[in-house]
Every structure is written in C-alpha cells, then in structure tokens.
Amino acid sequence: MSNYPSTATPLVDAFFDFDCPWSFVAFNRANEAAMRTMSRIEWRPLQCSEFPNRLPELSKPSAMEQASAARTWMAWLDYCGLSVQREFDARVDSQNALLATLYATEYGQEQGFIAGVFNAHWAQAKDISKLPVLLDVAEACELNLQELQAWLAKPVVAAALERNLQEYLAKQGFATPGFSIGDRLYIGNEQMPLVELALGQDSDISFVMPGSHDWDGSDD
C-alpha cells in the first residue's frame, strides 16, 4: 500500500535514514518531484550508520569538510524554507523509527509517518529513539499503537530493514538519501534535479524540466 495514486507510473526507490540531515532536506523535494511527474515513491528505510561498518573504504570526513557540509546544509534549509532545532552533526539511534516506518507502510501511512518523525527529530529536536515520541507520531497517523509496539519486537521486521541496506549496497549505494530509478542510482540531496528529470523521462505525461523549454525568443 502507498500514499501515491494508482495512476502513478514511474517508480523510485528512496533509501533514507531519519538521522541523515540530507534525507530530511530531500524528503519534501522528492515528494514534490513525484507529484509533478505523476510518479510513485517507495520509501526504503535503512541505517546509514552502518555504511562505515560495511564499506571500510569510506574515508572519514575531515573537520574542514564537516564544517563545509554543515554550512551547505544550512543554505539548503533556507532554500527549502525549513527550520530546525537540531545540529547538523547531532546523532541518535534511529532504528526503532525506521522499523516503525515499515509498519506505517503496511497501512499506507508512510508519508504522514515519515513527515511526522522527520519533524519531531529535526524541527523539534525530540529524541526519536524514545518510544513515546514515535507513538505520538503514530497516533497522529491513526495507527494501532499496540500493534506497532509488538511489530517493533519482531525479528522479521529487523530482517526487512537489513534487506533494504543489503539491496542498497548491491546497487553501489554508500550514503543517504539515495534514489533508484530502474538501473540508475542518484545519491544525495543535490541530485534531486536529476531524479526529477529521470522520472519525467519515464513518465507517461508531457514533462519539461526548467531550462529545457523550446524557446526561440519570438512573440506569439
């Protein structure tokens, strides 16, 4: 089940983590791109903290690189009209929030739930590793709270989260957010224009990217 219309044709698998600041920025941008191209997003949660464990060749960013990324992130927040109370490099354990997303997806409430958790984590600086915070979001999405708590304890759910990570690594993903469209993979918030172009090209609707208009300067 999903929040996207049955008429949506192109499909993008969006790999993300609530604890990833770039996933937070890209979330609304991806949904807007999907609406403009009549596309469908499958939100695929995974723990990006696992990347260094699975990909030891990844180098740790220097203090200068980290500071530059934080400044760029603030510029993107301003560009997207987002406000936050959490610092760029503040990290918490997002596992339960990611597992709960799989439950919300089962009932077609993933968009509302993901938006609620992102808001709680980044805009309100709440600790999404705490169950009451997740239950508040789930209740707002009219999810069954008792079922959700039982869901979090199921080994099969943790296995599903691991499968998302394994699939992403197999696609040569190494950071979040990642957007998989057919055999194409786009990694990072800055790749969103290319994601939208790919979705537009795959769409059944007439779609023109900004800068691609056939304009000759003549008056009608």
Percent of the chain beyond pLDDT 90? Answer: 84
Six token digits for residue 84: 């936050």
Cis amide prior to 177 (ω within 30 degrees): yes
Q: What is the mean pLDDT of residues 21-43?
A: 95
- The rounded distance, in Å, linking the Cα atoms of 162 and 12 is 19
Six token digits for residue 77: 């927040």
Q: What is the mean pLDDT of residues 7-27?
A: 91
pLDDT for 9 beyond 80: no
Global pTM value? 0.89
Q: What is the mean pLDDT of residues 154-169?
A: 96
**Res 210: pLDDT:** 52
- The rounded distance, in Å, linking the Cα atoms of 155 and 99 is 11
**Res 108: pLDDT:** 95
Supply the angle between the helices 145-152 and 131-140 in degrees, to the nearest 10. Answer: 140
Closest CA to 11 of 203, 216, 217: 203
**Per-residue pLDDT tens over the stretch 61-115:** 999 999 999 999 999 999 999 999 999 999 999 999 999 999 999 999 999 999 9
Cβ–Cβ under 8 Å, residues 192 and 29: yes
Work out the end-to-end distance of the chain between its first and last CA atoms, rounded to an integer number of angstroms: 46
Binned at pLDDT 50, 70 and 90, residue 42 comes out as: very high
Indicate the helix (H) or strand (E) that contains 216: none
**Res 217: pLDDT:** 45
**Res 66: pLDDT:** 95
**Per-residue pLDDT tens over the stretch 180-211:** 999 999 999 999 999 999 998 887 665 555 55
Amino acid at 123: A
pLDDT for 220 beyond 50: no
For the ranges 5-9, 51-55, 102-106, 191-195, the lowest mean pLDDT is seen at 5-9
Mean pLDDT of the chain: 90
Cβ–Cβ under 8 Å, residues 47 and 200: no
What is the full DSSP assignment across 89-155?
A: T-----HHHHHHHHHHHHTT-HHHHHHHHHIIIIIS---TTSHHHHHHHHHHTT--HHHHHHHHT-H
Q: Is the Cα torsion angle 21, 16, 39, 182 positive or negative in sign?
A: positive
Six token digits for residue 53: 């464990």
pLDDT for 157 beyond 90: yes
Q: What residue ranges define each of the domains in the chain, with the CATH number in brackets?
A: 11-56+67-202 (3.40.30.10)
